[in-house]
Chain A
C-alpha cells in the first residue's frame, strides 16, 4: 500500500506555506503554487517518470483560494492522490471537481473568517496594547497561525472530507457571522479610541457621520475609494478655511 511519508507531508505543507502565491499572476493565480506543493507527494507516490509527469500535470488547471485555510485543499489533494495511487478508482475529473469546489468555498470562508474577522479582532487588541500588542500579534498570529494551518492540513489529509466537515457546519457559519459583527464593533471601538478627529462630542458626532456617509457613498454611488478620499480632502480644505 502506497503512503506518503511524514517528511514528504511536511515538505508539501511548507512548499504551500512559502510558495503558494510566490509566482502569483492574474492568469494562473496559485496554480503553480499548487503544482509546486504537490510535487514531493506525487514523486513519492509515483516513482515511474511517465506516471509522475502525467499526475503532476493534472494539477495545472486554474487554482486560487485563500492561502491559509487553503492548506486544507492541499491535505485533501494529497489524500485523494494517495487513494488514487492505491487503486480507489478516483479519476482526474473527479479530483479536479473536488479541488475546484473546495477552493471556492474555502476562499469565501477564509476571507470571511480570517481576513474579515479574526485578523481585525487580533489587531484591535494589539492596537490597544501598543508595543506589547505588536509583539503579541507577531507571536499569536505568526506562530500559532502557522501551527493551526499545519494541524488543519494534517487533519484533512488523514480524515479526508470528515476532517473538513466542521468547516461547513452550521456552527462555523454562525461563528463567522457573529465574529464578523464583533469585528465591526471592535473596529468602531478602536476608532473611538484613536481615530476620531477630536476627542470631543462634536468630534465623535462628526466621525460617525463621516464614516456612515462615506460607506453609504461607496455603496450607493459609483464613487471609488480614491474618489472618496478626494471628497474627504476637499472637505478638509473647506474645514481649514472655515475654522
Chain B
C-alpha cells in the first residue's frame, strides 16, 4: 500500500464512524462503517477486492450485531474496519505470515479497542462545534448552522480523524508486520496468534447473544444455527424461512384481531 492509498482509506474511515458521521448515520455507520463494505472499499483502493473480502468476512462476523444504545460502545467498529483490515493485510503481506485470517482478526480487535480513543477525541471536537451552534442559536444567526453542523464536522472528520487513522495504519502495520515476522520464525508465537484469531469470532458471537438474548432459551438459537451451518445449511434459505414465518405469524395476529373485533 502506498501513502496515497492509506490517506484515502483514512479519509473514508474518518467519515464512517459511529460518533457523528457527517455523511449520515445510515450511510456512515451502517453502510460504510461495516467491515464487509470497508473490505470492498479498501479492496478497490488497494486493487485486491477478493483478498480483502476474504479477510473482511470473519471481521464482519465478529461484529455482525452491535447495539450501541446512547452512543455507548466498547469497540470502535470503524477503526476495526478501516485500520484493522489494512494493518492486518499489509502486515501479513510484508511478513509472509502463514495464517492471514487469524492475524487480521487480531489486528482488527486491537484497532477496535484503540479506536475508542479516537471516538472520544471526536466527541471532544464535537463539543466545540456544539458550543458554536449554541452561540449561533442564541445570537439568532441560524444561517451559520449548515457550516457549523455539517461542513465543520465533515472537514474535522476528514482531516483530523482521517489523518489519525492514516497515521495508525502506517505505524501499526509496520509494528504488526515486525511482530508477525517474528512469529513466523517462532512456532509457539505463531500458533498463539492463530488460536487467538480463531477464537475472536466466537468472542463476537458471545457478545451478540449477550446483547440480544432475552432469556436462556434464546441461547439455543445460535447453537442450533451453528450446527445447521456446520452441515452446510445456506443462510439465504434460513432468511427466507424466517421471512415466511414472520409473515405467517403476523397474518395470524391479524386474524385474531379481526375475530376479537367481530
Interface residues of A (CB under 8 A from B): 17-29, 32-33, 35-36, 39, 43, 49, 53, 56-57, 60, 64, 67-68, 107, 111, 114-116, 119-121, 123-131, 133-135, 137-138, 141-142, 145-146, 149, 170-171, 174-175, 178-199, 201, 204, 207-208, 210-219, 224-226, 228-229, 232-233, 235-237, 239-241, 243
Query: For residues 221 through 235 of chain B, which have their beta carbon under 8 Å from a beta carbon of chain A?
Result: 221-231, 233-235
Give which listed residue, A123, A134, A192, A207, contacts B64 with CB less than 8 A. A123
B31, closest chain A residue (CB) = A142
- Bound Cα distance A236, B261 (Å): 59
Q: Chain A residues near B222 (CB, 8 Å)? A: 184-185, 187-188, 191, 211
For chain A, what secondary structure do more than half of its interface residues adopt (helix, strand, loop), or is it mixed?
helix
Q: Chain B residues near A32 (CB, 8 Å)? A: 130, 133-134, 149
Give which listed residue, A138, A170, A175, A184, contacts B209 with CB less than 8 A. A184
Interface residues of B (CB under 8 A from A): 19-27, 30-31, 34, 36-37, 39-40, 49-50, 53, 56-58, 60-62, 64-67, 69-71, 74-75, 109, 113, 123, 126-127, 129-130, 133-134, 137, 140, 142, 145-146, 148-150, 153-154, 188, 191-192, 195-196, 198-213, 218-219, 221-231, 233-236, 238-239, 241-242, 245-246, 249-250, 253-254, 257
B25 shortest CB reach to chain A, Å? 4
Q: Chain B residues near A190 (CB, 8 Å)? A: 61, 64, 225, 229, 235
Complex contact A23–B133 (CB within 8 A): yes
B184 shortest CB reach to chain A, Å? 15
Q: Chain A residues near B230 (CB, 8 Å)? A: 192, 196, 199, 201, 204
Complex contact A138–B225 (CB within 8 A): no
Give which listed residue, A67, A171, A197, contacts B26 with CB less than 8 A. A67
Q: Chain A residues near B26 (CB, 8 Å)? A: 17, 67-68, 141-142, 145-146, 149
- Bound Cα distance A240, B69 (Å): 37
Q: Chain B residues near A239 (CB, 8 Å)? A: 195
Given that A131-B49, A189-B228, A191-B225 are contacting pairs, would A174 and B206 also be in contact in the complex, using a CB cutoff of 8 Å? no
Q: Chain B residues near A183 (CB, 8 Å)? A: 65, 212
Q: Chain B residues near A56 (CB, 8 Å)? A: 137, 142
Given that A170-B253, A185-B238, A187-B222 are contacting pairs, would A19 and B150 also be in contact in the complex, using a CB cutoff of 8 Å? yes
- Bound Cα distance A131, B53 (Å): 6
Complex contact A194–B226 (CB within 8 A): no
Complex contact A225–B74 (CB within 8 A): yes
- 21 A–B pairs (Cβ distance < 8 Å), ordered by A: A19-B22, A22-B154, A114-B30, A127-B61, A128-B236, A174-B253, A179-B246, A185-B224, A185-B242, A187-B208, A188-B223, A189-B234, A192-B230, A197-B198, A215-B206, A215-B210, A225-B74, A226-B74, A226-B113, A228-B203, A236-B192
A70, closest chain B residue (CB) = B25
Complex contact A191–B61 (CB within 8 A): yes
Complex contact A237–B192 (CB within 8 A): yes
Given that A19-B150, A191-B205, A215-B213 are contacting pairs, would A115 and B50 also be in contact in the complex, using a CB cutoff of 8 Å? no
Give which listed residue, A127, A175, A210, contacts B57 with CB less than 8 A. A127
Closest 3 CB pairs of A and B: A192-B229, A188-B225, A214-B206
Complex contact B22–A22 (CB within 8 A): yes
B50, closest chain A residue (CB) = A131
Q: Chain A residues near B192 (CB, 8 Å)? A: 236-237, 240
Complex contact B239–A124 (CB within 8 A): yes
